[in-house]
Amino acid sequence: MNNDNRGYSISIASDHAGLILKNLLSSKLAERGHNVKDFGTFATASVDYPDYAKLVCTDVLLGKAERGVLICGSGIGMSIAANRYSGIRCALIHNDTLAVLSRQHNNTNVIAFGARFIQAESAWECLLTWLQTPFDGGRHQQRIDKIEILNC
| Dihedral sign from CA coordinates of 75, 80, 85, 90 | positive
C-alpha–C-alpha distance, residues 102 and 68, integer Å: 14
C-alpha–C-alpha distance, residues 21 and 26, integer Å: 8
Question: At residue 104, what is the residue type?
Answer: Q
Query: Among all residues, which ones are annotated catalytic?
Result: 72, 105
C-alpha–C-alpha distance, residues 113 and 83, integer Å: 14
